[in-house]
Amino acid sequence: MLPERDIRDIIFAGIREKKYIAHISAQTEGVLSGIKWLKKACKNLGIHLKKCKKNGARVRPEEVIAVLTGSAKQLAVGEEQLIGWISKASGIATAARKAKKAAGKNLKVVCGAWKKMPLPIKDLVRQAIADGGIPYRMADIPFLYLDKNYVKALGGVAKTLQSVKGLKGHTLVIQLKGVGHSLLREAIVAAEGGGNIIMIDTGRKEDIVKIDSGLRAKALRDRVQIAFAGNIGIGDLHELKKLPVEIVDIGQAVVDAPLLDTRMDITAETGEKVGT
């Protein structure tokens, strides 16, 4: 809700009964996201959202994203609160769309880094990734992601996979770091133990070829998919799609993408009074 009293009450005292039309527009090209949060913020501020583009829409410079009506104070407060939701989310969606394009048709690119975001914006970031056209999960539900800490706590790759043997129908993704044993040895154990996706989380591209070759030598490659992660940029996807890897998890390059530049401008008076 709007504050009961602030300096804008004084500034806009002479026009407090007037209603205005405002436009939120894109200043750069990108992919739109964050509309759910924009609508909620408008409702909380008492601003009427007359029309708005949908999540996933491609926008161009100077294109109107949303049309609003409200008092001068509502719109002034709205400028501080509304733009952030769509600017941040749309920046993420835009980067996700670029990553998808760079990966091409045969390399699956995902972004699981939403899990590292602060709790209040996790849902926003996850939706933005989806609006950009890439998954935010390594595999379709139901699946289990057995990360490095599970492996450490349970005493190794074999024991970790053994602990979930009774959970039928789940895709098993296991994260490998090569700690304690060689990375290839861990990958072989994972393939033999029922892992479905082997996540090589080293950031070293040469590890992909090493694991692929080692699994093929043991006739295990057809049992598993190889996933890869570790400080990957969008530019790296052009090289990665030439390597024997099925899935790439790209993180910071998507969730920390620059904001989509947007602005809000009052364009006209409505001729109506506040409350009508």
16: CATH: 3.90.1170.20
Q: Does 58 fall in a domain?
A: yes
Clarify whether residues 82 and 113 are in a common domain. Answer: no
Can you give the pLDDT at residue 180?
Answer: 55
Can you give the pLDDT at residue 4?
Answer: 63
Domain span including residue 139: 99-255
Nearest C-alpha neighbor of 25 from the set 47, 48, 4, 52: 52
Can you give the pLDDT at residue 168?
Answer: 85
Can you give the pLDDT at residue 166?
Answer: 86
Clarify whether residues 86 and 190 are in a common domain. Answer: no
Clarify whether residues 135 and 207 are in a common domain. Answer: yes
Clarify whether residues 214 and 269 are in a common domain. Answer: no
State how far the Cα of 74 lies from the Cα of 215, in Å rounded to an integer. Answer: 62
Q: Does 66 fall in a domain?
A: yes
Can you give the pLDDT at residue 7?
Answer: 87
Clarify whether residues 165 and 29 are in a common domain. Answer: no
Clarify whether residues 162 and 216 are in a common domain. Answer: yes
Query: Per the structure, how many domains does the chain have?
Result: 2
What's the average pLDDT block by block, 10 residues per block, for the chain (276 residues)? 73 91 96 97 95 96 96 93 95 97 95 91 96 93 92 93 91 84 91 95 92 96 95 94 96 94 93 78
Clarify whether residues 154 and 239 are in a common domain. Answer: yes
> How many residues does the structure list for the chain?
276
Mind giving me the DSSP string for the chain?
Answer: ---SS-HHHHHTGGGTTEEEEEEEEESS-EE---HHHHHHHHHHHT-EEEEEPPTT-EE-TT-EEEEEEE-HHHHHHHHHHHHHHHHHHHHHHHHHHHHHHHHTTTSEEE--GGGGS-GGGHHHHHHHHHHTT--SSSSSSSEEEE-HHHHHHHTSHHHHHHHTTT-TTPEEEEEE---SS-HHHHHHHHHHTT-SEEEE-S--HHHHHHHHHHHHHTT-GGG-EEEEESS--GGGHHHHTTSS-SEEE--HHHHTPPPPPEEEEEEEEEEEETT-
Clarify whether residues 41 and 106 are in a common domain. Answer: no
Q: Does 173 fall in a domain?
A: yes
Q: Does 234 fall in a domain?
A: yes
Clarify whether residues 128 and 210 are in a common domain. Answer: yes
Clarify whether residues 235 and 110 are in a common domain. Answer: yes
Q: Are 227 and 256 in contact (CB under 8 A)?
A: no
207: CATH: 3.20.20.70
Q: Does 229 fall in a domain?
A: yes
Clarify whether residues 55 and 126 are in a common domain. Answer: no
Q: Does 244 fall in a domain?
A: yes
The most distant pair of C-alpha atoms in the chain lies apart, rounded to whole Å, by 81
Q: Are 31 and 90 in contact (CB under 8 A)?
A: yes
Q: Does 40 fall in a domain?
A: yes
Clarify whether residues 121 and 196 are in a common domain. Answer: yes
Q: Does 2 fall in a domain?
A: no
